[in-house]
Amino acid sequence: MAMYKIAAVTLSDGTALGSVLNYRPAAAVEERKDIPQEERAFEKKRLEKAVEASLKELEQLADEVRKTLGDDKAAIFECHHVILEDEDFQNDMYALIDGSGYTASYAVQVVAEKNAIEMEELEDSYLRERAADFRDIGQRLISCLGRTEEDSAVFPPAPAVVVADTLSPGETVRFCKKNLLGFIVNKGGRNSHAAILARSIGVPAVVIPENMSSLLKDGMRVVLNMENDSVVVDPDEETCRAAEKLEKKQAERRERLALLEGKPAVTTDGRRFGLYANAGSIRDLPLVAAANPDGIGLYRTEFLFMEQDSLPNEEIQTTYYEKIINTVPGKPVIFRLLDIGGDKPLPYMPHPAEKNPFLGWRGIRFLLDNPDILRTQIRSMLLASAATGTAVRIMVPMVACPSEMEAVKKIIDEEMPRTGGKAVPGMMVETPAAAVTVSAFRGVSGFISIGSNDLTQYTIAVDRESGRLGNLYSEFHPGVLGLMKKAVTDARGAGMETGICGEFASRPEGAALLAGIGFDELSMSPAAIPSVKEIIRTCSEKDFSELVDRALVLPSAEAVRGEAHDFLEARRLL
């Protein structure tokens, strides 16, 4: 068969050459909801023992990963431990057994899948990736209940590139113990815990369409990422030799990254950048703490509201925010105010249907129409600030005009003396209107933070979730970068600090461009911090600035990304 190429999306950078091994996990649990009343206590006891066994497994797995990959990757399994220990999560399973006659295994599957689907329905790409965590926890419990055994394909009999529909964090670690060269999956994103683990282990991973992965049969030779975002099938000898050289080069880079732990992100000419972590749930905090970022650049507070049965009161919110502040003691924390809308309504609050919820009643628009929710959230953040002795930053989503920031600043100014807390208000720049009028916010906003995901889709007029138009959505578009540069320049002139909190900074090419635009802080997935730190420490501020000057006159997103890629490749940073 002649060599051919399949387009892919990279989850974990790196090149891999090897033979295909298809992995098929165990089938779903048989539906059964007819357990007699007298047997339900026994089923509940089975579940109780499975929970205990799973918690022990997770502790052992975290210890094992900590020894080989470090605290930040072990924190993934500590997050799973937190989820499984949660009383509400457990009670939902027990209720299905006790009240509806479900078997323990089927109750686990239903509750895990319910939580996974809730995650997948969220707008935020980072939170959507947490769906795989719930499925992994469910599969672990079912295995402990005796429904499945460790799959025989978990350890490839010979070095192989594993092809699967999707992979959980647990499956990723088990595969990586022996004979694993790389992953090809049909589902998953760069923010999934499986992708984070693959990157930390140094295992290449890509996503390709399901109709293409079905062409990959056991034993076929493939090369992952010989070129960016690709799978080469049946490579010729010349391609194989080139892939082997790339593999060696990438192994050397992983060794370099390990030496950067604890070092600041400072350019060769002395410009320092803050490398912050994004987080969306209390369950992410162990991962954030282990990564030792310079602060939390985006904490998405809506998850707290979504997991409640009613609006969380001041006491609940204050305790919650204290935990987040204490995760990075003495370091900045940026809380985004509740960003809720028609696309992600609260289950206990009616929300009118909208034809285009992305352009509708969300963010600060919703909060100004619900002043009690807004004031309670601000008071809670200030009380947490007072309790921890740490000033917080409060970021306002979907800002379009100064009057919105004035309303928030007024509440903060009123509540600071009442609570004893300290806070700096800041605007999230997601709309083109905000990006081109930053100077008008002088005096009412202490900082700006670019929300690159929304700013990109609003600037290009493309829904980032659109399957048909997804190829048009790119933060590398010179128009998007031009807006960012104007916003940063104007903010600096108005005395505001500048940051970016989308996942764009997690990408090497994106980080290089953002450094050149002149941001003070880059916030990203915790796992991306080491590679971004190396990029910054290897280059000068002048290098980055000249890269952006070249990029802004290019005609397309593809050309801009290519320019940034060449910039990094020339410095051996890819």
* DSSP per position, 449-461: EE-HHHHHHHHHT
Reported pTM: 0.72
Locate the DSSP E strands across 328-436. Answer: 333-336, 392-396, 423-429
Structural domain includes residue 265: no
For the chain, the first-to-last Cα distance in angstroms comes to: 31
Same domain for 303 and 354 = yes
Same domain for 140 and 228 = no
Q: C-alpha angle 333/337/340, rounded to 5°? A: 140
What's the rounded Cα separation, in Å, for the pair 548 and 486? 12
pLDDT at 149: 43
How is 249-297 classified by DSSP, letter by letter? HHHHHHHHHHTTTT---B-TTS-B-EEEEEE-SGGGHHHHHHH--S-EE
**Which residues are annotated as catalytic?**
193, 501
What's the rounded Cα separation, in Å, for the pair 540 and 221? 41
What's the rounded Cα separation, in Å, for the pair 304 and 570? 44
- pLDDT-derived band at 155 (thresholds 50, 70, 90) equals low
Same domain for 326 and 414 = yes
Please say which residue of 102, 127, 144 terminates a domain.
Answer: 144
pLDDT at 107: 93
pLDDT at 229: 83
Range ranked top by mean pLDDT from 249-253, 394-398, 498-502: 394-398
Range ranked top by mean pLDDT from 52-61, 65-74, 296-305, 541-550: 541-550
Same domain for 140 and 155 = no
Structural domain includes residue 256: no
Reduced to 3 states, what is the DSSP secondary structure of residue 6? strand
pLDDT at 89 over 50: yes
What's the rounded Cα separation, in Å, for the pair 116 and 93? 14
**Amino acid at position 191, single letter:** N
pLDDT at 259: 87
Percent of the chain with pLDDT strictly greater than 70: 93
Read off the CATH number of the domain in which 222 is found: 3.50.30.10
244 pairs with which residues across the strands? none
**Sign of the torsion angle spanned by Cα atoms 371, 377, 378, 382:** positive
Averaged over 454-474, what is the pLDDT? 76
Structure-token pair, residue 255: 């060794």
Q: Output DSSP code: residue 393.
A: E
Structure-token pair, residue 13: 């950078």
Averaged over 492-497, what is the pLDDT? 97
| Residues composing the chain | 574
Structural domain includes residue 469: no
pLDDT at 28: 59
Please say which residue of 144, 165, 191 terminates a domain.
Answer: 144
Secondary structure element (H or E) that encloses residue 205, with its range: strand 205-207
pLDDT at 336 over 80: yes
The CA dihedral of 333, 339, 340, 341, to the nearest 10 degrees, is -170
Same domain for 109 and 157 = no
Domain with 49, as residue range(s), is: 37-144
Averaged over 544-567, what is the pLDDT? 97
- Measured in whole angstroms, the distance separating CA 258 from the mean position of its chain's CA atoms is 22
Q: Please say whether the beta carbons of 397 and 451 come within 8 A.
A: yes
- pLDDT-derived band at 153 (thresholds 50, 70, 90) equals very low
Averaged over 283-312, what is the pLDDT? 88
Name the residue with higher pLDDT: 432 or 123.
432
Bridge-based pairing state of the strands 274-279 and 521-524: parallel
The CB-based long-range contact list for 339-344 (8 Å cut-off, 24+ gap) reads 339/300, 339/301, 339/302, 339/363, 339/397, 339/398, 340/302, 340/305, 340/366, 341/366, 343/123, 344/121, 344/122, 344/123, 344/302, 344/306
> For 22-31, 186-195, 228-237, 262-271, which range has the lowest pLDDT when averaged over its residues?
22-31
Same domain for 339 and 203 = no
pLDDT at 343: 55
pLDDT at 228 over 80: no
What is the total count of domains within the chain?
A: 3
Residue at token pair 């357990």? 35
Structural domain includes residue 195: yes
Q: C-alpha angle 120/123/126, rounded to 5°? A: 70
Read off the CATH number of the domain in which 128 is found: 1.10.274.10
205 pairs with which residues across the strands? 12, 183
Same domain for 336 and 208 = no
Please say which residue of 184, 214, 236 terminates a domain.
Answer: 236
Averaged over 522-537, what is the pLDDT? 92
Read off the CATH number of the domain in which 515 is found: 3.20.20.60
pLDDT at 148: 46
Name the residue with higher pLDDT: 352 or 443.
443
Query: Listing from the earlier edge strand, what are the strands of the sheet with 160-164?
Result: 4-7, 230-233, 221-224, 16-22, 160-164, 180-185, 205-207, 9-12
> For 339-343, 499-503, 519-523, which range has the lowest pLDDT when averaged over its residues?
339-343
Mean pLDDT of the chain: 88
Same domain for 432 and 351 = yes
3-state secondary structure 121-184: CCCCHHHHCCHHHHHHHHHHHHHHCCCCCCCHHHCCCCCEEEEECCCCHHHHHHHCCCCEEEEE
pLDDT at 262 over 90: no
> For 73-77, 113-117, 434-438, which range has the lowest pLDDT when averaged over its residues?
73-77
pLDDT tens-digit series, residues 115-152: 999 888 776 666 777 788 898 899 889 888 874 444 44
Helices (H) then strands (E): counts for the chain = 23, 16
pLDDT at 405 over 70: yes
pLDDT at 323 over 60: yes
Reduced to 3 states, what is the DSSP secondary structure of residue 105? helix
Q: Please say whether the beta carbons of 344 and 123 come within 8 A.
A: yes
Task: Please name the residues in contact with 558: beta carbons below 8 A apart, sequence gap of 6 or more.
Answer: 474, 476
What φ, ψ does residue 239 adopt, rounded to 5°? Answer: -65, -40
pLDDT at 150: 45
- pLDDT-derived band at 540 (thresholds 50, 70, 90) equals very high
Averaged over 111-115, what is the pLDDT? 93
Name the residue with higher pLDDT: 208 or 354.
208
Averaged over 518-529, what is the pLDDT? 92
Structure-token pair, residue 20: 């295909």
The radius of gyration of the chain's CA atoms, rounded to the nearest angstrom, is 24
